[in-house]
Amino acid sequence: MKKLTPVLIVDSVEAQLPFWCERLEFQVVASVPHEKALGFAILVQGGVELMLQSRASVAVDNPAALERPSHSTLFFEVEDLDRVRRALAGLPLVFDERETPYGARESCVRDPAGNTLVFAHFANAT
């Protein structure tokens, strides 16, 4: 294996962009239209890449992916948890900042599509 890129299925790609691009500073590097909206977008920030695909696009492209509900949790290792927390200010937290037994400070929210996002900073990371 060489790479893993999560694909999040969302009702509307456009509705997700303010969260990912304005709050978390991702950039849209590619997009594909579907009907009169975006069907797909690739977003990057630093070394992190993720894809957003609309349900309408998935229904045409890979309908089996919609047969069962799916739930995702994304775990992001970040350099500056305080900066991420400021960017997410005002959003409901899944859990507030915590210290973990494995040496991370973490905070957790849901994106507008309902996916759980854990942001972690390891003080002793190399």
- For the domain made up of 71-126, the CATH class stated in words is alpha beta
Exposed, middle or buried: residue 113 (CB in 10 Å: 0-12, 13-18, 19+)? middle
What does the pLDDT read at residue 118? Answer: 95
Per-residue pLDDT of 23-53, as tens digits, reads 999 999 999 999 999 999 999 999 999 999 9
Domain ranges of the chain: 1-70, 71-126
pLDDT at position 82: 96
pLDDT of residue 70: 82
Tokens 């060489």, located at residue: 2
Give the global pTM: 0.89
Hey, which CATH number is domain 1-70, 3.50.50.60, 3.40.640.10, 3.90.580.10, 3.10.180.10?
3.10.180.10
C-beta pairs of 73-76 under 8 Å, 24+ apart in sequence: 73/115, 73/116, 73/117, 73/118, 74/6, 74/50, 74/115, 74/116, 74/117, 74/118, 75/118, 75/120, 76/48, 76/117, 76/118, 76/119, 76/120
Q: How many CA atoms lie within 13 A of 90 on its CB side?
A: 4
What pLDDT score does 126 carry? 53
User: Which segments of the chain have a pLDDT < 70?
Assistant: 125-126
- Per-residue confidence (pLDDT) for residue 63, from 0 to 100: 93
Handedness of CA 42, 50, 91, 86 (dihedral sign): negative
Q: What local confidence, expressed as pLDDT, does residue 69 receive?
A: 84
